[in-house]
Amino acid sequence: MEFKIEKKLKNSLGRAGILKTPHGEIKTPSFVAVGTKATVKSLNPEQVKDAGTQVVLGNTYHLFLQPGDEIVRDAGGIGKFMNWKGPTMTDSGGFQVFSLGAAYGKDISKITKITDPSLMIPERFDDNDAPRLAKIGNDGVSFKSHLDGSIHYITPEKSIEIQHNLGADIIFAFDECTSPTEDIKYQEEALERTHRWAERSLVEHLKLGGGQALFGIVQGGREKKLRQESAKVISSMDFDGFGIGGSFAKEDMSSAVKWVNEILPEEKPRHLLGIGEPEDLFMGIENGIDLFDCVLPTRLGRNGTIYTNRGKISITNKKFRDDYSPIEKDCGCYSCQNYTKAYIAHLFHGKEMLAGTLASIHNLYFIVHLVDNIRQSILDDNFFEYKKEFLSKYIV
């Protein structure tokens, strides 16, 4: 893997670059489509490519459980298995430590607000909580499969072994993604674990022959001291690039990203894990992020929420039932070129499978091209003007 910075954004950490992988170049900044189980939900690979997507990310935990990483290996790797010819990535399974652990059965996400009551309650979990499907130890994490209840123990070494079998161009070190509701003491303990696991991941990666690009993950929650400490520790290891993971408060996410990227080496790529709302894309790119992944374009699309330049719309609203215009008149996506809001609304009301496909095509195209346009604005020296113009319309 090679990374070259083409142009830096003046008075900020932002940059435009090119990331070379065995399966093609990635023009950065770039939005990575999430293909959790080796499929971008409701879309085929041709539709994903036609939306402008350069990279697809698979989920290590889910592919380990089904169909099994050895099956993917024997099929020729995740790209060949899913008929995606471009660059691929796999996460480490660290996010499932959060989603199947502290967040399981609760309305807790990795992005929260400072004013959330849960941040002010000392005792956040009691005997009436849903049983967690993930339990964390110093050496690894035991998972109870959400499919059949079987128990699996994933260590940093096991995560790297699985990812080597999956065969993506870029893989990630095993980490602990903590809940935003955890206190400082637990965040410190989790960070020490993540740093030990990062070192073990790197050792195992080299033991298995390297070959793929391995990114280390910076954690530390909302704490400046911990974020900066993590950036220093992870950047001291010989990773090919870096992921920024964990939980954030929406209000201080930009500060957390900046704290980290002011320390991480400039010459290596940076990936902001699980973030993809339009306003957050501008924030991340301005603060030095090169890659983003997020499930929102297809998840929202399947539920009838659609991105437009003037904010999100719910296509199931009554006013769209007889609206014979496209979702966005100047959009080049397949859905807007061929269908009306009235038709797509009809599909959702009729519970037709095509509904989620057409909405997801548009959403993925919208986000991918937004990042492409931001990249071009860096090259054209008008990033801040473009940011102001877009957000003044999008955020009402």
- The predicted pLDDT at position 142 comes to 85
Which ranges of the chain does DSSP label H, i.e. alpha helix?
A: 45-50, 60-65, 69-74, 78-81, 94-97, 156-166, 184-207, 224-235, 253-261, 278-286, 296-302, 334-338, 341-349, 353-379, 383-394
Structural domains for the chain: 2-294 (3.20.20.105)
pLDDT over 60 (residue 99): no
Residues 297-320 pLDDT 10s:
999 999 999 999 999 999 999 999
| Tokens (6 digits) for 318 | 């009554």
Amino acid symbol at 17: G
91 flagged as catalytic: yes
Q: Which of 242-256, 278-292, 312-326, 381-395 has the lowest mean pLDDT?
A: 242-256
Q: Is the dihedral of CA 246, 249, 251, 255 positive or negative?
A: negative
Sorting pLDDT into bands at 50, 70 and 90, what band is 333? very high
Sorting pLDDT into bands at 50, 70 and 90, what band is 144? confident
pLDDT over 60 (residue 38): yes
pLDDT over 70 (residue 292): yes
The answer to whether the beta carbons of residues 337 and 326 sit under 8 Å apart is: yes
Dihedral through CA 338, CA 342, CA 343, CA 349, nearest 10? 150
How many C-beta neighbours within 10 Å does residue 170 have?
27
- The predicted pLDDT at position 126 comes to 37
Instruction: Report, as an integer, the average pLDDT of 170-174.
Output: 97
Q: Which of 69, 175, 290, 293 is catalytic?
A: 293
Instruction: Report, as an integer, the average pLDDT of 326-338.
Output: 97
- Nearest Cα neighbor of 242 from 219, 266, 269 is 269
Sorting pLDDT into bands at 50, 70 and 90, what band is 330? very high
CA distance 49 to 59: 19
Q: Which of 69, 91, 280, 290 is catalytic?
A: 91
- The predicted pLDDT at position 87 comes to 98
Amino acid symbol at 154: I
- The predicted pLDDT at position 131 comes to 46
Sorting pLDDT into bands at 50, 70 and 90, what band is 103? very low
pTM above 0.85, yes or no: yes
252 flagged as catalytic: no
Dihedral through CA 17, CA 36, CA 161, CA 220, nearest 10? 60
Sorting pLDDT into bands at 50, 70 and 90, what band is 98? low
CA distance 116 to 120: 8
pLDDT over 80 (residue 100): no
pLDDT over 90 (residue 167): yes
CA distance 220 to 230: 7
- The predicted pLDDT at position 2 comes to 98
